């Protein structure tokens, strides 16, 4: 096939997709005067069945220059889709508000301020250990009864898995892996803190790790080493000191205890969360105070209200044990800075076997 034939084929696909979207828009406009009880609940919001059907129907749709291929994940406010970027001619991740959140924002008279702030913040963080942002702006989305421009940003489609999945599958991680992973996370955190940004929701699910495949048959499929590390999901991020009367942000089991007493968030609260994750990676499971991960909220709240320090098992190697104890200290003034942690982890990585 010649280059001209290939170009014409791409143009034909784009025109067909555009015609599909236009047809959908015409259906929406024709239905605007009517209230369909099958689509909306008594309060006027989209029913779960409607939302699920719309999510499915988005697959293959053209939004701006993006062809959506399906949902990768959803969070409290946003959804991340696998998509084809027709300009870049590559697959990307596209994040925008969830469909139900879009409707709530529009009916509540809001303007997606939180999501727009997240997109601007993410665009500032472009270091090696952050997901690369390609584009951001607004896309036209059609919902039953109305159409609305919603904010979005597109980013690299990273091939790794989240650290929580890796720990559940592998159990206790090799110490060299732990050092490599946390060196990457610390570099990402340092960049964020220098920009005046606190993550607020550090947990294994928000750390992506790409592992090299096994090189020897005797490894039985066990990955060989860490290739790349990315820190993700800045949806709860904010400036230092943006706490006080605001609700505590984060995930129970990783939130620094002082935040429950009205302390203002800062770099030291991120360090605490990272210390808990560090401990999980070296032991292969959640810390005792966080419970089993299914109904651990009461365990964590009980620990927060008590006066004990977080328990660090004796099985953790002494240098790492001492470091983690400082990271998860109740008194935030006792916690190390990201600069000190970077120096310590680099030193330990240099001393690790095989380096």
Q: What is the structure's pLDDT at 46?
A: 60
* 64-76 confidence digits (pLDDT tens): 999 999 888 887 7
Q: What's the CATH number for 161-351?
A: 1.10.510.10
Superfamily of domain 3-156: Phosphorylase Kinase; domain 1 (3.30.200.20)
Max mean pLDDT range (170-184, 228-242, 339-353):
170-184
| 8 A C-beta contact, residue 274 and residue 182 | yes
Residue 140 host element (H or E): strand 133-143
Residue 228 host element (H or E): strand 226-231
* 26-64 confidence digits (pLDDT tens): 233 323 333 444 555 665 566 667 666 666 667 888 899
Q: CA quadruple 144, 109, 62, 17: dihedral positive or negative? A: positive
* 235-258 confidence digits (pLDDT tens): 777 766 554 456 778 888 899 999
Confidence of residue 95 (pLDDT cuts 50, 70, 90): very high
The mean per-residue pLDDT over the stretch 300-309 comes to 80
| 8 A C-beta contact, residue 198 and residue 265 | yes
Q: What is the structure's pLDDT at 83?
A: 96
103/101 Cα distance (integer angstroms) = 5
Q: What is the structure's pLDDT at 320?
A: 94
* 121-180 confidence digits (pLDDT tens): 888 898 999 999 999 999 998 766 678 899 999 999 999 999 999 999 999 999 999 999
Place of tokens 């205890």: 257
State pTM to two decimals: 0.78
Domain locations in the chain as residue ranges: 3-156, 161-351
């Amino acid at each position: 096939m010649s280059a001209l034939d290939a170009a014409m084929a791409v143009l034909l696909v784009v025109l067909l997709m555009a015609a599909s979207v236009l047809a959908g828009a015409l259906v929406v406009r024709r239905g605007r005067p009517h209230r369909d009880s099958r689509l909306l609940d008594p309060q006027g919001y989209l029913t779960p069945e409607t939302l699920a059907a719309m999510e499915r129907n988005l697959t293959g749709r053209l939004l701006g220059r993006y062809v959506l291929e399906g949902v990768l994940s959803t969070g409290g406010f946003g959804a991340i889709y696998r998509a084809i970027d027709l300009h870049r001619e590559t697959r990307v991740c596209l994040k925008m508000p969830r469909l139900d959140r879009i409707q709530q924002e529009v009916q509540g008279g809001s303007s997606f301020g939180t999501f727009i702030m997240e997109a601007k913040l993410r665009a500032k963080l472009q270091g090696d250990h952050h997901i690369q942002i390609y584009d951001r702006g607004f896309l036209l989305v059609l919902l039953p009864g109305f159409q609305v421009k919603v904010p979005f940003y597109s980013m690299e489609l990273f091939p790794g898995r989240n650290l929580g999945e890796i720990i559940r599958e592998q159990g206790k991680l090799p110490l060299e892996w732990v050092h490599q992973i946390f060196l990457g996370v610390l570099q990402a955190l340092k960049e964020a803190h220098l920009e005046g940004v606190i993550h607020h929701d550090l947990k294994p699910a928000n750390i992506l790790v790409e592992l090299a495949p096994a090189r020897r048959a005797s490894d039985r499929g066990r990955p060989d080493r860490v290739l790349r590390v990315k820190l993700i999901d800045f949806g709860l991020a904010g400036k230092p000191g943006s706490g006080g009367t605001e609700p505590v942000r984060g995930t129970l089991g990783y939130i620094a205890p002082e935040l429950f007493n009205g302390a203002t968030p800062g770099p030291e609260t991120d360090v605490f969360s990272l210390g808990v994750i560090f401990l999980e990676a070296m032991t292969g499971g959640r810390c005792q105070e966080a419970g089993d991960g299914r109904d651990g909220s009461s365990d964590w709240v009980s620990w927060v209200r008590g006066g004990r320090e977080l328990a660090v098992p004796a099985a953790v190697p002494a240098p790492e044990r001492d470091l983690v104890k400082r990271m998860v200290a109740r008194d935030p003034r006792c916690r190390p800075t990201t600069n000190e942690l970077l120096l310590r982890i680099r030193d330990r990585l240099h001393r690790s076997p095989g380096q």
